[in-house]
Amino acid sequence: MSKIYYSETHEYAKVDGNIAYIGISDYAQHALGNVVYVDMPETGDDVEAGVDFGAVESVKAASDLIAPVSGAIVQINEHLIDNPRLLNEAPLTNWIIKVEMNDPSGGVAAGKPDGRRCLRRILRQGLIPDMPALRGQ
């Protein structure tokens, strides 16, 4: 059974074992408006928690995507290349990248299902020791 964790920057990690499906929250897609382009890394690239890995562009704005976990990208959602609007239709179903996490036991921040829990609070508690840049200290 997978669990969903949210970051302060409105990305989510839907975690199932050592695999995390990374995407944007429903709140983020509403704030962005109509998504017109998704800049994604390539399969095989590594992502680092707290570091940007791509961007989402809409008719209103562009927003960097910040990885909530560290690991290797094992798949990108190729459906988003031709139809980025899928993020508006069902953001939790239409993940952006699939990541094999380096440390599934401690590499994700916990959050509420509505995506509003502060990642910094979790980091201050030491649940993700490999992300000091996000601690806001």
Q: Does the pLDDT at position 121 exceed 70?
A: no
CB 11 within 8 A of CB 65: yes
The model scores a pTM over 0.85: no
**pLDDT given for residue 131 in this prediction:** 41
Structure tokens at 79: 């459906």
User: CATH number of the domain at 3-134, please?
Assistant: 2.40.50.100
pLDDT at 130: 44
CA end-to-end span of the chain? 34
pLDDT at 30 over 90: yes
Alpha-carbon gap, residue 94 to 96, rounded angstroms: 7
pLDDT above 90 (res 112):
no
- pLDDT, tens digit, 9 for 90 and up, residues 46-82: 999 999 999 999 998 999 999 999 999 999 999 999 9
Position 2 scores a pLDDT of 79
Residue 88 pLDDT:
96
H runs (alpha helix) in the chain: 26-32, 79-82, 86-89, 119-124
What are the C-alpha distances in Å from 15 to residues 5, 6, 18, 55, 58? Answer: 8, 11, 7, 21, 27
